[in-house]
Structure 1
Amino acid sequence: MRTTPGSPTPLEPPHVLDERRWYVANEVLAFLLELAALACLGWWGSTAADGTALRVLLGAGLPLVAIVLWSLFAAPKARLRPRLPLVLAVKALVLGGGAVALYGVGHPVAAVAMAVVVVVNTAVAETFRRRPTTSPTG
């Protein structure tokens, strides 16, 4: 990294700063998609069954199961570090499940849009994560 005389912070080339902004924006989008998937799973679960007790159980239980799976296998600081295919399978199950749940509550266009955004976001995130890091010496 370069610094200017008297400057306490390093200066990055403009393309590095721009790339970092895209990375952060994509990670924020990923987090919002995760929250949306949990909400959609809860929404579908609370409408999918007859009887109040079953609706409450599914409405709270489906997001809870998704949270446990995500925290064990797919989160950045997951307790277990499986290989990429299992991580992607868990992401597909949770995020895809959110899109399917959205379809299940009667919003097919929004479900397809969510599914497309999930696929693009995940592909971009994995591309950023697999990209070799640049050395600070240039």
Structure 2
Amino acid sequence: MLTVLKYTNLAVALLLELCMIAALGYWGFTTGNGIILKVMLGLGAPVLAIILWGMFGAPRSKWRLQGLAYGAFKFIIFGVAIAALFAAQQEQLAIAFIIVLVINNILLYIWHQ
């Protein structure tokens, strides 16, 4: 049973990463004046997050950060996504995201995932 919970927690971690990208895209498309700026932010912010996550956060990255640096990186990149949700006036979604993110990270730490 515990194995199922551990795999579920890893799946939730992946979903949180996808939600982080979606939050940045949502913010971008709802921010700024004019369609060009909205499209640039709506596509640019998620692409930048994907590049940064792929370089420094992905498990198989050759430049993956370790220890405190990895924790700080995750805090910053997910914090920016949460701030983007608040800026896009999606407070309830941001709070739900925070709750799931905190629980997921506690379990990742406890289970050494």
Instruction: Determine which of 83, 95, 103 is the counterpart of 1:100.
Output: 83
User: Where does residue 28 of structure 1 map in the other structure?
Assistant: 11
- Structure 1 stretches of 4+ with a deviation exceeding 3 A read none
Aligned to 2:93: 110
Deviation at 1:93, TM superposition (A): 2.2
User: Distance between the aligned counterparts of 1:67 and 1:93, measured in 2?
Assistant: 14
Residue 51 (1) aligns with residue 34 (2): yes
Over the matched positions of the two proteins, sequence identity in percent amounts to 33
Deviation, 1:81, is 3.0
Question: Partners of 1:83 and 1:33 in 2: how far apart?
Answer: 20
Measured after TM superposition, the shift of residue 74 of structure 1 is 1.1
> Structure 1 counterpart of 2:50, which letter?
I
Pairs aligned (count): 113
CA distance in 1, matches of 2:49, 2:72: 12
What is residue 69 of structure 2 aligned with on the other side? 86
Corresponding residue number in structure 1 for 2:20: 37
TM-score between both structures, scaled by the size of structure 2 = 0.89
Structure 2: where are the runs of 5+ without partners? Answer: none
3-state SS of paired residue (2:59): coil
The higher-RCO structure (CA 8 Å, 6+ apart) is: 2
What is the Cα deviation at residue 35 of structure 1?
A: 0.7
- Given residue 55 of structure 1, which amino acid in structure 2 is its aligned partner? K
Q: What residue number does 1:127 align with?
A: 110
Give the drift of 1:49: 0.8
> Could you say what the CA RMSD is over the residues aligned between the two structures, in angstroms?
1.5
Give how far 1:128 is off.
1.6
Q: Is the 8 A contact 2:25 2:43 kept in 1?
A: yes
2: CA distance between counterparts of 1:93 and 1:61?
17
Whole-Å separation in 1 of the counterparts to 2:63 and 2:80: 21
Q: Secondary structure at the match of 2:105?
A: helix
